[in-house]
Amino acid sequence: MTAKFKANSETSLSPDYCPLELEQEIREFWEKHRTHQRLSQLREKNNLGVLGYVEGPPTLNGIPHVGHSRGRVMKDLRYRWKTMQGYFIPFWAGWDCQGLPVELEVERLLGVKNKRELLERVGEERFIEECKKAIVKYHKEWVEVDKRLGVSIDQEKAYWTYFDDYIEREWQYLKRAWGQGLLEEGHYVVAYCPGCQTSLSSAEVGYADSYREVEDPSLYFKFKVAESQNEYFLIWTTMPFTVATDTMLAVNPEATYAKVKVGGEKWIMVEQRVASVMAELEVSDYEVLETVKGARLEGTKYDYPLKDLVPRLAELEREHPLVHSVICEDFVDVTTATGVVHLSPGNGEEDFFVALKRKVPIFAPFDDEVKFTSEAGAFNGMFARDADEKVVEELRKRGSLVEVKTVRHEYPTCWRSHHKLVWLARKEYFLRTDKLNAKTLEAAEKVTYFYENPKNRFLSFLKEGKPWCISRERVWGTPLPVWKCEKCQAKTIVATKKELLEKAVEKPAGHFELHKPWVDRVTLRCEQCGGVMRRENFVLDTWHNSGASPYARFTDEQYRKYVPVDFLTEAIDQTRGWANSLLLQHVILTGKAESPYRAFLFQGLALDAKGRKMSKSLGNIVESKKLLEKVSADVCRFYFLKKCSPIDAFHFDAQELSRRPYQVLSTLYHLSRFLLQNSEFDKFDPQKHTLEQAEKKRQLKPADRWLLSKLQETIVEYTAKLESCEFNFALGVLEDFVIETLSRLYVPMVRKELWTDDPETLERRLAVYATLYYALKEVTLLFNPVTPFLSEALYQKIFKKLDPAAKDSVNFEEWPKPNAKMRNKTLEEEFATLFKCVSLVYAARQNAKLKRRWPLSRTIVVASENVENALKTAEDVFLEMTNVKNVEYCREVPREVSSEEWVQASEEGTHVFLLAKRDDKLLGEGLMRDVARRVQALRKELGYMPTDVLKAVLVAEAEKQDVELLQPYLKAMEELVRAKEVRVCKSRREAEAEWHEFQIDDKKIYIAIL
RNA sequence: GGGCCGGUAGCUCAGCUUGGCUGGAGCGUUCGGCUGAUAACCGAAAGGUCGAGAGUUCAAAUCUCUCCCGGCCCA
């Protein structure tokens, strides 16, 4: 009887892997020892190099969900990994605090319907206080989840985008833009909700349920070709009021247009739509007189019929030659309506850019409430959409109306009030980033994106190169630091608090901060005319706010050290968001074709299990906090990274967590426990019993060398996959090593050798421990960026326990480096061949219904010399795995195997023959193992620990000949089932015991444990 | 409406760049086996019109075109 495991070896690792408890313990360990702070300090002083980092700040208008958490895990992975490699990274948190999303959240909390009500009922000052309160609330949630997830970002060094010092540094970007003539006032078309009386961001327009089916007029009308008798352009619109701001017509240059004779008139429209439109207008008597390419129509002037009502349009016609003429644009859709589109640059974004491109003046005669101004002549004072009827009437009076009906169609509405939105040009401030396009693109080209798709997506977006409208008519944001003279309209920019207070006409009394309403109260004296200068009443786009972080979150010295930063990762929706604003602002700030980041990984979005976007209305948002209360952070982290490529959409399914990810981590846990239990018993000391020692004492066997070689391969490939951000493949490599190489192959190969306390084989056992210790420790380190809790737990409770000289935390360890001397590809191939032959033996056994636990006497392998050599490298392993006593090799199939006593299996020129016939010895040993197996099952069922030693095992009512077969192997069975005695009884009546019935190949036997 | 991405076993995903044997893995199911580190593991079976159609080719999951469906972004 082996003395091994005599008592339950006291390990601090529970027999089951209970990650939730383990992680809580490790969290407290890190906090108590201030592990992350100490690590950061250490690396700052002593490093291989500095890798800059700036946190992409989450907006504090909600709580984190799995999509956020996945992103944060990728950031943390990179930090932990590069830090282990010896780099210093300023992995400091940051929070996006301002902007519309936060305002809307606070409006909701305050129960306010719109901006006007907000200002009247709540007022700016209190509103700002409420915004700050909301931020603090959500900040707590984020920090809590980071902690639970093991995101080691430094919360104490976080930046907040609303702090005065941050805003002052953000203003430096604008000052630089101002100096380069890139900051301009101009018009921009925005979506406006007449109900809420506020403009909407494009994000709001895009909200899931903002598109609704609505009823609109369907108006066909005609504009007469100038100086023609009876030629007209036929036009369709659902927004008649825009005819009051009509500036141009557009046709598609490639399409064919027809002149259609209807009554005494010729109507011009796209040829392919003639039949359908005529049918719709119920005109049956018509004829296509001639056709002409769209391009030929360019420059045609037309008579705008409402000139008398809107005199300003008549003036514009004289000021610019293109007003009220036809232009060509590819975007004109010739598959709907008439293929002739009327353009109102004051009321449509596309129209607006068409006009801007041709320097056609923007006619936008609307006030803040979207009522026509006096510039609109007869429409003065009328709300835009209410002018629909009047326009129709006036067209009718002038003979320009063809037909008016109603139409139901999908149209964007306000997500809050569901009023139909209108688009109109308003006065805004722009960064003329279109002028920097070449530089921006050059900078972006130099960035590493890891994958082609997101790269192309980003670059093609940048190529659009539109000016950036940075002004917002909101409250909670960085104030635009431009003051304008009431008298002479002169403008000035003030970009620091100090400068502002110095120049102020009157110093502000009491509290002062760089927000509305305090900054608005500061007036300046105009240097040109001495008039009063007031601040332009805008705040900045929140993307400008967060895009300023590389400069604004650091000091000058830090900025020089850390920017451009090494690596960033955010979700793919940041293509147009942060990735873009960072780039544009950096180019403005530096004047160089340089990106503020050297690499950017765009992650796919997180969707629910069915592939739907997570949204409040669907109620399918998985909140990280709730998830992590029930599920291990390590398991989540592993799942986030392993499930799919980081750029793929991530279909989160909680049920998948407990499957493969759990199994892999659990296996690593148990492998480590296995090492600890065994090695502690033999007083293994990693300082003394090293691999070098084992080598010297010639105790390393091919199986060990094979494992060590596979480990080197794993280190190389895993690190390479991390480097290329193929986290899913990286973890595939790691998983394979743990499950296949270690758990399925190596441990079974050495288990028997460890299953003894024979002092003569102690050196061999120590060599196996050294091998396992090294391999498992390296694996634990490789896992650390992914499963930091498990790695730390194993490190503290196994590696540090066995080797007190180990570091204070796994995080202080160095990243494993491959050892080329341990790599042996030939050996790896030989073992691959060996394993293939083993599975051939299994296949042959299965054919002959020979259980694996039944020993057999002979196997003959008919194969090439290579295969023979491969098997001979580790013949003992082959025999052990196949449970065969002897193996022979042949090149040709020997005659003897043709007898029915042999069974076989073949693959790729390798044939394996097994002697199926068994003598009494083999039968007895096989039977013993059959019985032993039942005993083991019973032990487990009755709740015995593996280490418990049984008083006696009783076997009863076996057939007489079986008892005889069994008799010589009872001693061996005692060892196997860990019992002081194994006794065979004739009848159950011989002993007072709880008997359990078992079946062995149709025969009943009874087993009892005492 | 435009751009991009995806559609491969019941589920989750590889394979596609550079066409080539019988299209893979994991999970799940069924049957059998193995097992005291493991919630593991091994073998077999069932399960695929590789979204549809056409083209190129001796040969297409892979290349080209068209269409359908889903997702994201933009309008």
Q: pLDDT digits over A807-863, tens only?
A: 999 999 999 999 999 998 888 888 888 887 887 787 777 767 777 778 888 888 888
In this predicted structure, the answer to whether residue A947 has a pLDDT above a threshold of 80 is no
Residue whose C-alpha is closest to residue A34's, from A190, A152, A137, A146: A152
A267-316 residue pLDDT tens: 999 888 888 888 888 888 898 898 888 888 999 999 999 999 999 999 99
Report chain B positions within 7 A of protein CB atoms. Answer: 1, 3-6, 11-14, 26-28, 32-44, 70-75
Do A945 and A914 have their domain in common? no
In this predicted structure, the answer to whether residue A76 has a pLDDT above a threshold of 70 is yes
User: Which residues sit opposite A193 in a β-bridge?
Assistant: A198
Determine whether the distance from the CB of A751 to the nearest atom of strand B is below 7 Å.
Answer: yes
A774-803 residue pLDDT tens: 999 999 999 999 999 999 999 999 999 889
Helix (H) and strand (E) counts in chain A: 36, 36
User: What CATH number does residue A845 fall under?
Assistant: 3.30.2320
pLDDT grade for A222, boundaries at 50, 70 and 90: very high
Instruction: Supply the pLDDT for residue A2.
Output: 43
- pLDDT, chain A, mean: 86
Helix or strand run (H / E) with residue A20 = helix A19-33
Ramachandran angles phi, psi of A344, nearest 5°: -125, 90
Do A914 and A928 have their domain in common? no
Q: Is the dihedral of CA A422, A423, A425, A426 positive or negative?
A: positive
Do A990 and A912 have their domain in common? no
pLDDT grade for A616, boundaries at 50, 70 and 90: low
CA dist A931 and A229 (Å) reads 109
In this predicted structure, the answer to whether residue A469 has a pLDDT above a threshold of 60 is yes
Determine whether the distance from the CB of A611 to the nearest atom of strand B is below 7 Å.
Answer: yes
Instruction: Supply the pLDDT for residue A4.
Output: 45
User: What CATH number does residue A300 fall under?
Assistant: 3.90.740.10
Residue–nucleotide distance: A410 CA to B50 C1' (Å): 37
Determine whether the distance from the CB of A11 to the nearest atom of strand B is below 7 Å.
Answer: no
**Of A653 and A764, the one with more pLDDT:** A764
pLDDT grade for A248, boundaries at 50, 70 and 90: very high
DSSP per position, A278-323: HHHTT--SEEEEEEEEGGGGTT-BEE-TTTTT-HHHHHHHHH-TTT
Q: Is residue A797 part of a domain?
A: yes
Q: Is residue A736 part of a domain?
A: yes
Residue–nucleotide distance: A207 CA to B70 C1' (Å): 19
What is the mean pLDDT of the segment spanning A160-167? Answer: 96
CA dist A200 and A192 (Å) reads 6
- Give the number of other CB atoms < 10 A from CB of residue A372: 23
Residue A936's nearest nucleotide, by CA–C1', is B36
In this predicted structure, the answer to whether residue A159 has a pLDDT above a threshold of 90 is yes
Do A747 and A882 have their domain in common? no
Residue whose C-alpha is closest to residue A297's, from A274, A272, A327: A327
Residue whose C-alpha is closest to residue A458's, from A644, A645, A599, A612: A599
Instruction: Supply the pLDDT for residue A43.
Output: 94
Q: Is residue A572 part of a domain?
A: no
Residue–nucleotide distance: A257 CA to B65 C1' (Å): 28
Instruction: Supply the pLDDT for residue A817.
Output: 94
User: Of A183-192, A385-394, A921-930, which one has max mean pLDDT?
Assistant: A385-394
Do A652 and A636 have their domain in common? yes
Q: Contact, A252 vs A270, CB < 8 A?
A: yes
Quick check: helix, strand or coil at residue A859?
Answer: strand
By percentage, how much of chain A surpasses pLDDT 70?
Answer: 95
CA distances from A416 to A208, A282, A383 (A): 12, 40, 20
Residue–nucleotide distance: A648 CA to B70 C1' (Å): 14
CA dist A668 and A673 (Å) reads 9
pLDDT grade for A97, boundaries at 50, 70 and 90: very high
In this predicted structure, the answer to whether residue A494 has a pLDDT above a threshold of 90 is yes
- Looking only at the bridges linking them, the beta strands covering A231-237 and A265-270 are parallel
Number of folded domains in chain A?
4
Instruction: Supply the pLDDT for residue A554.
Output: 96
Residue–nucleotide distance: A108 CA to B66 C1' (Å): 49
Which residue, counting CA atoms, is nearest to the C1' of nucleotide B75? A350
Tell whether omega for the bond before A517 is within 30 degrees of 0, i.e. cis. yes
**Of A460 and A79, the one with more pLDDT:** A79
Contacts of A255 (CB under 8 A, 6+ apart): A270, A271, A272, A293, A294, A332, A334, A339
CA dist A722 and A592 (Å) reads 31
Which residue, counting CA atoms, is nearest to the C1' of nucleotide B73? A573
Label residue A546 exposed, middle or buried (CB < 10 Å: 0-12, 13-18, 19+): buried
CA distances from A674 to A214, A798, A978 (A): 68, 10, 18
The letter for the amino acid at A485 is C
Q: Contact, A776 vs A672, CB < 8 A?
A: yes
DSSP per position, A737-754: IIIIIIIIIIHHHHHHHH
Q: Is residue A459 part of a domain?
A: no
Which domain-ending residue is among A918, A943, A972? A918
Q: Is residue A746 part of a domain?
A: yes
Determine whether the distance from the CB of A291 to the nearest atom of strand B is below 7 Å.
Answer: no
Instruction: Supply the pLDDT for residue A460.
Output: 80
DSSP per position, A461-491: HHHH---EE-EES-SSSPBP-EEEETTT--E
CA distances from A272 to A263, A290, A332, A671, A871 (A): 20, 13, 14, 73, 77
The letter for the amino acid at A439 is K
Instruction: Supply the pLDDT for residue A116.
Output: 75
Residue–nucleotide distance: A847 CA to B46 C1' (Å): 20
Residue–nucleotide distance: A300 CA to B16 C1' (Å): 52
CA dist A886 and A901 (Å) reads 16
User: Which residues sit opposite A983 in a β-bridge?
Assistant: A954
Subset of residues 929-948 in chain A with CB less than 7 angstroms from any atom in strand B: 929-930, 933, 936-940, 944-946
Least confident of A290-304, A475-489, A875-889: A875-889
Contacts of A592 (CB under 8 A, 6+ apart): A439, A443
Determine whether the distance from the CB of A906 to the nearest atom of strand B is below 7 Å.
Answer: no
User: Which residues sit opposite A889 in a β-bridge?
Assistant: A861
- Looking only at the bridges linking them, the beta strands covering A539-540 and A471-472 are antiparallel
Do A901 and A952 have their domain in common? no
User: What CATH number does residue A655 fall under?
Assistant: 1.10.730.10
Residue A908's nearest nucleotide, by CA–C1', is B21
The torsion of the CA quartet A607, A608, A612, A616, rounded to 10 degrees, works out to: -90
Q: Contact, A695 vs A704, CB < 8 A?
A: no
Determine whether the distance from the CB of A765 to the nearest atom of strand B is below 7 Å.
Answer: no
In this predicted structure, the answer to whether residue A589 has a pLDDT above a threshold of 90 is yes
Which domain-ending residue is among A866, A895, A918? A918
Q: Is residue A840 part of a domain?
A: yes
Residue A211's nearest nucleotide, by CA–C1', is B75
Rg (CA), chain A: 39
Determine whether the distance from the CB of A457 to the nearest atom of strand B is below 7 Å.
Answer: yes
Q: Is residue A697 part of a domain?
A: yes
Instruction: Supply the pLDDT for residue A640.
Output: 87
Residue whose C-alpha is closest to residue A66's, from A659, A727, A623, A645: A623
Do A872 and A935 have their domain in common? no
In this predicted structure, the answer to whether residue A202 has a pLDDT above a threshold of 70 is no
Q: Which residue has the tokens 């080691």?
A: A152
| Number of residues that this document lists for chain A | 1010
A697-733 residue pLDDT tens: 999 989 899 999 989 988 998 998 898 888 888 888 8
Residue numbers of the domain that contains A872: 827-918
Residue A672's nearest nucleotide, by CA–C1', is B37
Quick check: helix, strand or coil at residue A951?
Answer: coil
Residue A651's nearest nucleotide, by CA–C1', is B12
CA distances from A726 to A289, A491, A600 (A): 63, 51, 14
A637-663 residue pLDDT tens: 988 888 888 887 788 877 777 777 888
Determine whether the distance from the CB of A352 to the nearest atom of strand B is below 7 Å.
Answer: no
Q: Is residue A283 part of a domain?
A: yes
Do A754 and A833 have their domain in common? no
CA dist A675 and A362 (Å) reads 77
Residue whose C-alpha is closest to residue A189's, from A399, A423, A412: A423
Global ipTM: 0.80
Do A878 and A757 have their domain in common? no
Q: Which residue has the tokens 């040829």?
A: A271
Residue–nucleotide distance: A577 CA to B13 C1' (Å): 30
Ramachandran angles phi, psi of A622, nearest 5°: -95, 105
Ramachandran angles phi, psi of A359, nearest 5°: 60, 30
pLDDT grade for A27, boundaries at 50, 70 and 90: very high
Subset of residues 392-411 in chain A with CB less than 7 angstroms from any atom in strand B: none
Which residue, counting CA atoms, is nearest to the C1' of nucleotide B17? A452
Q: Contact, A373 vs A367, CB < 8 A?
A: yes
Residue A846's nearest nucleotide, by CA–C1', is B43
Do A394 and A275 have their domain in common? yes
Do A870 and A928 have their domain in common? no
DSSP per position, A868-897: HHHHHHTHHHHHHHHTEEEEEEESS--GGG
Determine whether the distance from the CB of A222 to the nearest atom of strand B is below 7 Å.
Answer: no
Instruction: Supply the pLDDT for residue A535.
Output: 95
**Of A970 and A123, the one with more pLDDT:** A123
A400-433 residue pLDDT tens: 998 888 877 767 777 667 778 888 888 888 888 8
The torsion of the CA quartet A382, A387, A391, A392, rounded to 10 degrees, works out to: -150
Q: Contact, A284 vs A318, CB < 8 A?
A: no
Determine whether the distance from the CB of A743 to the nearest atom of strand B is below 7 Å.
Answer: yes
Do A715 and A682 have their domain in common? yes
